[in-house]
Structure 1
Amino acid sequence: MIGYYHSKETFGTVDGEGIRYVLFLAGCGLGCAFCHNPDTWIKGERSITVEATLKDINQYRNFYDASGGGFTASGGEPLLQPNFVTDLFAACQKDGIHTTLDTAGFCKTEALLQVLPYTDHVLFSLKAIDHKLHRKLTLADSNEAIIRNLRYIAEHKPVTVRYVVIPQVTDDAESIKKLIELLHSIKNVQLKVDVLPYHFMGAYKWNELGMVYKLEGVPAATSTDVKRVSDMLLTANIPLQYPK
């Protein structure tokens, strides 16, 4: 089975627990306004096989096992290549390698149903809860299917919801209130939230690709911004992956 990818990282420390081998698969249709890797949106022609990936992972296996890490399929959007991810995750699990799916949930439900049985943990990037704000920040007409996919994942797997704090965009009281309401409605004792600061370090890639960076002028989130949102979640009894 062949997959199309953008890049890979053999010593990942921010894409799941422990030290991880991270494969950034190519292709994404969400088009987030704050994406720092818009060069991953196009599928391209760079390919790799399940066998080659597993062989590469095993070169560094001692680091992954010792740290409680493993393999993460990221992107782009990995669920746009469900056949490849399914075969790769199945091979990893057969070899005793922990699997993490890094997704934004913008995919067909069939793809999710196919991959999830071979997934140990999910990182779910939630852009916005309000429909209008979600349309403003992405190319999706609605986030209804995305939230439905999140609910389904949370019914079956441990999940970490990633939420980016964008000053004056996603960090206002109403946005956080809606986030809290959504998370309270999801019954999963293993659900946690990773509060991430917005940055514009990838803005230059938009310029190189001849694209207009949509959040030009929006300041990067400070540690104070992140702590304020984190405190709001903790006050609402929402557990954080990494308490700020």
Structure 2
Amino acid sequence: MTWKERQHSFRLSDKDNAALTGTVFDIQRFSVHDGNGIRTLVFLKGCPLHCMWCQNPESMSPKPELMRLPHLCIGCGKCIEKCPEKALSVDDSGTFVIKRENCTYCGECVAHCYAGSMTIVGRYMTVDEVMDEVERDRHFYETSNGGVTFSGGEPTMQSEFLIECLHEAHRRGLHTAIETCAMTTPEVFRNVLEHTDLVLTDIKHMDSRQHKLLTGAHNEQILENIAAAAAMGKTLRIRVPLIPGCNDSAENIEETAKFVASLGSAVESLDILPYHRLGEPKWEQLDRTYPLLGVEPHDKMIVYSMKDVADKYVAHVTVGG
């Protein structure tokens, strides 16, 4: 079945869970930073935010996308030759061009790229297919008190699929976690949390206007959902991605820490995540311009000075999670 055919067969139906399908862009095994113990991370595509520093830009769109790694290309031209939609070409200046509006994700360019320069990010999987992958490391979950973490993008954008995966994980006796920006409706968030043991969620900025400038959306719903999760008694790990020139003022960290402190004992930790540039090349691979191009990470002393600010309000503050 081609990618285009799979798109036509894409279904989200409560009545037929065997056909319930989600768009997954990666599954990572042996993670130790995204919940308790050893975990498997399932990354779902689609995100309502567009953070300027996003390290997984391939997660923003809910649809599969063609990604090209130019440093691997050997210039053989096979991808251009085999593309049935003529979506690939080289212009007069020698620049490789992808007409993304023409791409149907048929996979012909990937199949004929000997060097592995072309790849399609995002594949449709059923709940059972995802859980079969997760089950491969059950022994490690049991010996380390680990489990499965659903991430993104923003996993609640595929709420029906996510809820069924979480339900199935619980049915199989697995610990569940989600990594979420909490930008969804209260109803969806409550339904997701029903089968979620641990919530790892970001607070990008406490000022709603600044939050919109940085991410494309205001933060009121996010903060309300986080507070609701705490009220439900869910275990929370709050994360602050510390981005140079964006949210790294002492005032913002203080306001964030005060909010976290107001959530009470539901909060397990406040994690300050230093900025890094590891995801920067992905923007180019998707023909996008990275908004923070050239921005350097903080000096360690600055990061720990922000921790000192948060320490005044929150009992357990970490750097790096």
Question: TM-score, with normalisation over the residues of structure 1?
Answer: 0.93
Question: 1:76–1:101: structure 2 CA closer, same or farther, 3 Å change rule?
Answer: same
**Residues 47-196 of structure 1: pairs in structure 2 closer than 5 A:** 47-140=124-217, 142-156=218-232, 157-196=234-273
Within the candidate set 28, 42, 46, 1:27 is matched to 46
Task: State which drifts further: 226-235 or 91-100.
Answer: 226-235
Q: Conserved in 2, the CA contact under 8 Å of 1:78 and 1:103?
A: yes
* Structure 1 position 230, deviation (Å): 1.4
- 1:212-223 matched pairs, under 5 angstroms: 212-223=289-300
Instruction: Tell me if the contact between 2:274 and 2:320 (Cα under 8 Å) persists in the aligned partners.
Output: no
- Whichever of the two has the greater Rg, that structure is 2
Q: Secondary structure of the residue that 1:188 maps to in structure 2? A: helix
SS in 2 for 1:236: coil
- Kindly state the Cα deviation for residue 9 of structure 1 after the two structures are TM-superposed: 0.5
> Does the 8 Å CA contact 1:80/1:111 hold for their aligned counterparts?
no
What RMSD over aligned residues (CA atoms) do the two structures have, in Å?
A: 1.7
In structure 2, what is the Cα distance between the partners aligned to 1:238 and 1:168? 27
What is the distance in 1 between the residues matched to 2:190 and 2:320? 31
Cα 1:204–1:73 shift into 2, 3 Å: same
Q: Are the equivalent residues in 1 in contact too, given 2:307–2:318 (CA < 8 A)?
A: no
Q: State the identity as a percent.
A: 33
Spell out, residue by residue over 1:21-56, the C-alpha distance to the aligned partner (whole angstroms, 9 max, x if none). Answer: 110001112011010110111122511111112222
Q: Distance in 2 between matches of 1:226 and 1:12?
A: 24
For 2:307 and 2:208, the matched residues in 1 are separated by 22
Deviations 1:175-198 (A, max 9, x none): 112112212322334442111101
Whether 1:16 and 2:92 are equivalent positions in the alignment is: no
Q: Quote the offset at 1:241 in angstroms.
A: 5.1
Q: Give, in whole Å, the separation in 2 of the partners of 1:40 and 1:168.
A: 24
**Residues 307 and 319 in structure 2, CA contact (< 8 A), matched pair in contact too:** no
Unmatched 5+ stretches in structure 2: 1-19, 65-122
Preserved contact between residue 197 and residue 222 of structure 1 (Cα < 8 Å): no
Distance 1:162 1:17 in 2: 15
Q: CA deviation at 1:242?
A: 6.0
1:36 paired residue among 55, 66, 83 = 55
Which residue identity lines up with residue 24 of structure 1 in the other structure? F
Structure 1 equivalent of residue 92 of structure 2:
none
**Runs of 4+ more than 6 Å apart:** none
What is the alpha-carbon distance in structure 2 between the residues aligned to residue 189 and residue 149 of structure 1? 13
How far did residue 243 of structure 1 move? Answer: 8.6
Q: Which letter maps to 1:230?
A: K
TM-score, normalised by the number of residues in structure 2? 0.72
SS of 2:231's partner is helix
Q: Could you tell me whether the CA contact under 8 Å between 1:7 and 1:23 is conserved in 2?
A: yes
Q: Is the 8 A contact 2:230 2:266 kept in 1?
A: no
